[in-house]
A and B are shown apart, each in its own frame.
Chain A
Amino acid sequence: MTNRRLWQIAGNLVLIAALSAIPSRAQQDLIRILSPAADTVVRPGQTMTISVAADTSIEKLVLIGQRPLGVGQVVSQPQPAIATRGQGESRPVRFLLTIPTQIQPGTYRLTAMGTTSGGDLESQAITLDVERSDEPERIWAEPSVIASLHPGERIPIRVLGAFADRSQEELTKSTKTNFTSADQNIATVSADGVVTAVAPGKTSIQIRTPQRDYSISVRVQ
């Protein structure tokens, strides 16, 4: 066997090993989040029930929310965070998840993760859209001016809001916050507020929430 052939076999083995670590579509279907639907809008402080279908081969199952959502609690199980096969759990498994009251508006992923005798598997993630029910009385942005950006350079904008209850919240990743550039030939802005300089000149970035707007100037050198 030639060295080249040996290298090809070794390469294929590495590739197989790498692929086996990634849950395949079929593996992901062994665990599915049935409800709520993706992009469901929820409120800070709200407790919701998440229903997860799991194949009988799944021995243990947890529901993990993107920080700071935390871990779901299994309804009627001795180990609240883990649904364990054969310990009285019913299928689909129902988890309770309470959205923290101190959470920035925006989308957060939820994933169900389980173990079998062969290793761990995870579901397709779904996203929850956490939004406050009230609107800010005033919004502003940081930085307050983008004064000297060169083409290709990027700067993220943070959007902050002041609410009637005197609380202050970062709204950058809220789905209700929109960013637009007055001149995309000078600077563009992404949906999450990252400004990218394109060519020398001066323009502005406008930030809109349902009831408020704010704009900052951008100077590209």
Chain B
Amino acid sequence: MRTSSRPLLCTLVLLFFVGPLWAQTHTIDFEDLAGPSRYDAAQGPVRALSATMSGGQVLRNSSLAPEGKTAVYATSNECAGCSRSISIQFDQRVSHVQLSFHSEQPFNVAYATEDAQGNLSEVTLPTTVDAGSGTVDLPAANIRQVTLSSPSAEYSLAVGAISFATTGSAVLIDPVVAGLLNGDSVTTSAAAIAAATTGLVNGAAADGTTEIVLRIPASSSGQAFTVAVINDQGAASSSTANDGGLMPLGGSATLASTLNVNAVAITSTEAEAFAIYRAPVNFSRGTASDNSATTRGVTLQITPAGSAATTIPVTVARPPVVLVHGLWGNASSFNNFTPLITSTLFNVSRAVYASAITGVTSTTPSFSKSVDSAIEANSLGFAYNAPGVLVQINNFIAAYRTSADVAAVKADIVAHSMGGDISRTMVPLTAYLSAGTFGAGPINKLITIATPHLGTPVAADLLASNNTCARNVLASDGDIALQSVTISGKATDGAVYDLEGSGNGSSLSPALIALTPANDQPFHTAYIAGIATSSNLSGLSCLFCNAEALRILCSGNPLATDLTAAKWTTIYGTQSNDTIVPLDSALNNLTGLQYSGVIHTAALETLNFKGPSVLDPASNISAEVINLLNEAPTGADFH
């Protein structure tokens, strides 16, 4: 059954017997997947184009890769935890599977087909495939699984590409990946959708925005179908918010749980029908099982007029989560943010704006050259950093689509401190709405932790001329307080300048004034604030400690002399605060979740403030964030 060349006529004849003539061929080539060049350890199942590969790992730039390719999926006895077998499971029945391979030893091939009742029949090829490079060709129909197995203890087996045809089966297509968008909407061109060979997915992220196209093979133009959303209890859906909903190509004002569509002619002999499924708004429906689930499911029931219904499962996934750090921070700011960062329920990535800034010609206030050369992006203002963080968020969503094999256009953003201001600064950017997000932008929910939405009085203090010594000490530590900086001749605001504000809404910096008002943002926001108590400040009045060293070294600087348990809170007047951000500022003068006995950041512990910080597990804020990620965006904690 192994072939490396097969007459075209033979292939056409086989396809004729496989089923309807209209068949789309899809190819998984691993080229977008990351990996090492040599075996190290098995990785979890790899998903692509509605198929799952398991047993091995992705290798890139490996000598095993076929000519013209850089990536393979491979297994070997040299790979820790890898299996002797590579398994490929398809989410739907496919036909005419071809696999290009390279193997150091002969290997066996088996595949399983599925009948209309869902029963599997396994077939093992009678002859072993020879070692070397070549192609395995399986022209059968209704294949659900293929397994390549090495019979020997020493083995090295790589698959370079897998192609298959989706003949006679309805499929789900991500219109963003498949290039089927016309502006902010799915194209109405049936020909374009029918021709799509990329973007095959098995579901969508629950963000209320992501859309996928249901492509249904039909026997003739005009054939009528009824498509219905069936919930995970097996009943017809009664909630588009929980189960997602349907609309025809071209859209409609409201989503439906049942939709009638008619097939259109694709060619003189082929016809297909189409519907659009939009993901539910809510991942969790408030149940314990949803709260502890990585994915859940709904089913699309497709009933041709006068015929029996078929179904296609749709995976409902959680939107990816992106963490955005704060002033003077980096990705490691979230290293202790457990349980969220270690939870297997969420796909969590970290946006970083901490790269070195080159070309600094001057700063206000001024610093030594060695400090100037150490300036990182995390000392620069909202406008400087927002575009780069937006690019990262969009890319994390795209990477999530690749790894999870679902359509997704939005992420839940969890932002600490200035990261919340930077996230809000993205909204007016032209790029915010032009990234294949159906005109909604890439933020699903925003959760801010100790964000100075209304600034902090410490910012003005840091830039004051009577705090030069304290400012220089902090700069040596890497915490560079800037009003402005000129980079390659272009002036930009410093982060600390952008954070200026009294904390209750007055004396706001221009950057804070420019933020879109909370009630006009295209996403829902939850606010978390920390409140320091006397125990958090009790360490400041220490002797022979860093706080005292700063008081002695910079005596006369208000910020240094205020670094005592009695004086630090006087910076904020009567406002509660987390030692850096006033309460009203963290809540944006709205309601939110308040946590007492915590400080703004663990970095303050160097100056003898006592933790935990808002990002430490002992604060319980990370666990609260998980609750908020499970809460509907229209829930009580969101504005």
Contacts and interface: CB of A to CB of B under 8 A. Distances in A.
Interface of A: 18-19, 21-23, 28, 60, 62, 64-68, 70-71, 78-82, 84, 104, 109, 111, 113, 115, 119-120, 122, 124-125, 137-149, 153-156, 158, 170, 190, 192, 194, 202, 204, 206, 212-217, 219
Contacts of B549: 62, 71, 79, 81-82
B544 A216 contact: no
Contacts of B392: 143, 155-156
A149 B356 contact: no
23 contacts: A60-B552, A62-B549, A66-B477, A81-B544, A109-B374, A113-B476, A115-B469, A120-B472, A120-B553, A122-B368, A139-B36, A144-B33, A145-B33, A154-B391, A156-B354, A170-B331, A192-B355, A192-B356, A204-B60, A213-B61, A215-B34, A215-B60, A217-B70
B417 interface: no
A119 B469 contact: yes
A170 B332 contact: yes
Interface stretch (B210-218, B250-258, B394-402, B571-579): B394-402
Interface of B: 31-38, 40-41, 60-61, 70-71, 331-332, 349-350, 352, 354-356, 365-371, 374, 388, 391-392, 394-396, 398-399, 401-403, 435, 468-469, 472-473, 476-479, 544-546, 548-549, 552-554, 603, 606
Nearest to B543: A79
Nearest to B387: A153
Contact of A143 (B395, B548, B553): B395
Nearest to B394: A148
B368 A28 contact: yes
B355 A148 contact: no
Contact of B35 (A18, A60, A84, A215): A215
A104 B398 contact: no
B40 A137 contact: yes
Contact of A194 (B349, B355, B365, B435): B355
Given A144-B403, A192-B356, A109 B468 contact: no
Contact of B370 (A124, A144, A190, A216): A124
A124 to B, nearest CB: 6
Top 3 closest pairs, chain A to chain B, by CB: A147-B398, A81-B549, A125-B370
Nearest to A61: B553
Given A62-B549, A64-B476, A158-B331, A190 B355 contact: yes
A145 B606 CA distance: 37
A35 to B, nearest CB: 18
Contact of A111 (B70, B366, B476): B476
B40 A21 contact: no
A163 to B, nearest CB: 13
A177 B394 CA distance: 26
Contacts of A142: 349-350
A148 B403 CA distance: 15
Contacts of B544: 78-81
Given A23-B368, A144-B403, A155-B395, A204 B70 contact: yes
Given A81-B549, A156-B355, A158-B331, A21 B374 contact: no
- Chain B CB count within 10 A is highest, among A64, A66, A139, for A64
